[in-house]
Structure 1
Amino acid sequence: MRIDTISIFPDYLAPLDLSLIGRARREEILDVRVHDLRDFTHDRHRTVDDTPYGGGAGMVMKPQPWSEALTHVLDSADETTGGAPVLIVPGPGGERFSQAMAHELADAPWLAFACGRYEGIDERAYEWAAERMPVRVVSLGDYVLNGGEVAVLAMVEAIGRLLPGVVGNAESLVEESHEGGLLEYPIYTKPATWDGGDGVERTVPDVLLGGNHAAIAAWRHEQRLTRTAARRPDLLHTAATTSDLADLDHAVATPSDAPELAVLQKACWIEMVTPAEDWWGAPAEDAGTVAENLGQWTTHLFRSEGRLVMSVRVRRDPHRPTTWQIARIMVAPDLQRQGLGRALLAHAEALAPADITRFWLNTGADQPRLLKIYKKAGYRVVGPGVGPGTVDLVRRLRS
């Protein structure tokens, strides 16, 4: 990804050379370029602002330096950037920046940021830019800053850390606050009992010490709901249930979705994985394996308010061209048992080309609930699956 930032204080953005974002720049995962707006002025004082028409306090940034600076950025396009960047202008009058927006912007090959100052930028600069590139005014929050640089630092970090390779443990990206629409659960480390010097022993919750991963997952989800209700009740709608795929945002997965898919997989199937070797590959897939499989399957995602809640992948069988393979039917645990799995299966079937004569899927032989769902949908067990502890099921369309 390439990111261009225009500011009258380019040194303000020096922290982008630090920590994970700095390492990503050095490893060429991120190409971050900072431009001084004053380089595009033509008077000896390098003036970028003037008094507002109609009167009022403060100064307004002139459109001319902005048009020249943005033209300079546009003229540097290459084969990796596409036609034009998405221009993001931080400002309190814009749409609220969120984790969902960070994911959306992380899929763009090229972003540009325009750091306003004073009372803002002449409106004609926005109009000029919108004729040449997508323009989004984005607010970091419901407050006013002295300029856009602080917001750019925050947004570049939020976006950049979602790119593959920036964060070492990619799974940690989806076990955080605002991923899945909820705040993060409480976290603990050693020692299990700690005296803070006040004579009070504080202990780690017993559920985290017992090794029961299903119980831990349930406890963490309960804690996320409790914490969100107490601190940010406005977010609870994000985790609300849904009863129809049409209520969700649908997209085809890209490599940047792999970490979320890997964790959704664990969340859906954790109770099936005892011991892990008895289940064919599902829990063993890390983000890298999921990303690799995206090249072999078409994976469909469904999101609710930015949260990944369902997924399924499909393909034409490489060895039996008239067979449509359906796999990794996943519904987030808090949305299960509402008929969404059946709806997701129907969606996968509807994607099949016209020459397909049968549908195929695979599941655990010891999963009676799933087997009942598939048999009710017309599937029949045809024999043991390739993976240990699994069976293949087929639904024939015509001979």
Structure 2
Amino acid sequence: MRLDYLSIFPDYLAPLGLSLPGKAAARGLIDVRVHDLRDWAHDKHRTVDDTPYGGGAGMVMKPEVFGEALDDLRIDGATVVVPTPAGRPFSQPLARELATRERLVFLCGRYEGIDQRVLDHVATRAELVEVSLGDYVLNGGEVAALAITEAVVRLLPGFMSNADSLVTESHEAGLLESPVYTKPASWRGHDVPPVLLSGDHARIEAWRHSEAERRTTQRRPDLLAPVTLDVPGEAGGADDTARLRLAVPGDAPELLTLQLACWVTEALVNDDLGIPALHEGLDDVRRDLDLWRVWVLRTAQDRLVASVRARLGDDGSTWEIGRLMVSPDLRGSGLGRGLLAHAERSAPLGARTFLLFTGKHSTANLRRYKRAGYSVREVLDGPSGPVVLTKRRRD
């Protein structure tokens, strides 16, 4: 790939000769050429800017110098990248797209920007891509050009010595990357999560996926593909579409309220006030957010109406599903079936068996789970059992 840069501060782009980009250039994988835009200015001051038409603050980069430079660089057929706050947001998909091009030409603007006619002219000769790093303003395009270059060239075949490292990075699988650790196992009172020291690859993979989902939910929920379920409207009103997402600590109080409402019914049906869910408090619910993957279903009016949780068992092959809860006023609406299906789909690859519990006198639950393909494995001792049900994974 050939990379050209037009800038009035060419030394700003010296880092292109360092680290992996520098090594890639030395191996001939990329051809880096940095050009001083002032070389195409013909007055003694090498002027590249002038006052804006219509008045206003600042200066605008002149079209003449860019025009001559673009002619000499023969940009026809290339992809011209212009970093600008007015561009489309830069993203990993865009980086992958740019990595397929044979030549990128970066126009690094300064001051109030480049005369629009330059961009209009470029668009008649080459592919024009205006890109913004984010919702903020830099002094010039050089920093953005460096960032875009690094994101693009590392995707070129042969650039990374270990191509597998690209697969699990943030934004590659639609999630942020999970936390990473190295030796020592304990440092300044902070310990590596025990699962990473277990040698159990199935549990480690499940932990990493769970942490990636949790981190994405907390920091970048906009990256998650929404899962929606239809909720019947109240009092004959229009149906509502509720979104399913991983729970965050702020959901804990409503989760506790839903849990108590649901398990009071279970206690009455099974004549058992000893059901653990009835005796848990807010701290228990918050703790379980770290021990389980917990999903909550919220309506467009931000009402938490249902939840389910799951985790990989100690054997590394059993996907334990629990606390399947639907608000009492919405029972029979199909939400429980949808939540159960989602929990099953979320199982890691190493999970081969689904497992869940219900009360031995909870006939409606038993009927629902049997319809979903679950079979009774055993009934434990106690007023409410519970009944242990399992199902073999089919995929």
Which bracket does the TM-score occupy, shorter chain normalised?
A: 0.5 to 0.7
Q: Are 2:94 and 1:101 aligned?
A: yes
Q: CA deviation at 1:369?
A: 3.7
The equivalent residue for 1:39 is 39
Q: Which amino acid is 2:164 matched to?
A: E
CA offset at residue 166 of structure 1? 1.5
1:225 counterpart (192, 195, 213): 213
Q: Report the AA paired with residue 109 of structure 1.
A: E
Question: C-alpha separation between the residues in 2 aligned to 1:101 and 1:335?
Answer: 30
Give, in whole Å, the separation in 2 of the partners of 1:156 and 1:368.
Answer: 44
1:191-219: CA deviations, max 9, x gaps? 2222x1xxx3x221121111121211111
Task: Please point out which of 163, 171, 192 is paired with 1:170.
Answer: 163
Q: For 1:1-399, what aligned pairs fall within 5 Å after superposition? A: 1-74=1-74, 84-194=77-187, 196=188, 200=189, 202-237=190-225, 334=346, 369=394
- The amino acid that maps onto 1:208 is L
Q: Which runs of 4+ in 1 moved over 3 A?
A: 333-337, 367-370
Larger RCO (CA under 8 A, 6+ residues apart): 1
List per-residue Cα deviations over 1:117-153 (Å, max 9, x = no partner): 0000111111111110011110011000000000001
Report the residue type matching 1:13 in the other structure: L
**How far apart are the structure 2 equivalents of 1:5 and 1:15?**
13
Task: Work out the CA distance in 2 between the residues paired with 1:336 and 1:99.
Answer: 25
Flag the 1:140–1:240 CA change in 2: closer, same or farther, 3 A: farther
Name the TM-score, length of structure 1 as normaliser: 0.57
Q: Give the drift of 1:334.
A: 5.0
SS in 2 for 1:131: helix
- In structure 2, how many angstroms separate the alpha carbons of the residues matched to 1:92 and 1:225? 30
C-alpha displacement of 1:368:
8.9
For residue 336 of structure 1, report the CA deviation from its aligned partner: 9.7
Alpha-carbon distance in structure 2 between the residues aligned to 1:203 and 1:116: 47
Once the 2 structures are TM-superposed, how far is the Cα of residue 335 of structure 1 from its aligned partner?
9.8
Letter in 2 for 1:44: K
TM-align CA RMSD: 2.2
| Partner SS for 2:34 | strand
- C-alpha change, 1:19 and 1:108, in structure 2 (3 Å) is same
TM-score by length of 2: 0.57
What is the one-letter code of the residue matched to 2:142? Answer: E
Question: Matched residues in 2 for 1:230 and 1:147: separation?
Answer: 32
Bigger radius of gyration, 1 or 2? 2
Partners of 1:240 and 1:62 in 2: how far apart? 50
> For 2:153 and 2:163, how far apart are their aligned partners in 1?
12
Q: Is the 8 Å Cα contact of residues 205 and 348 (structure 2) preserved in structure 1?
A: no
Distance in 2 between residues matched to 1:240 and 1:111, nearest whole Å:
38
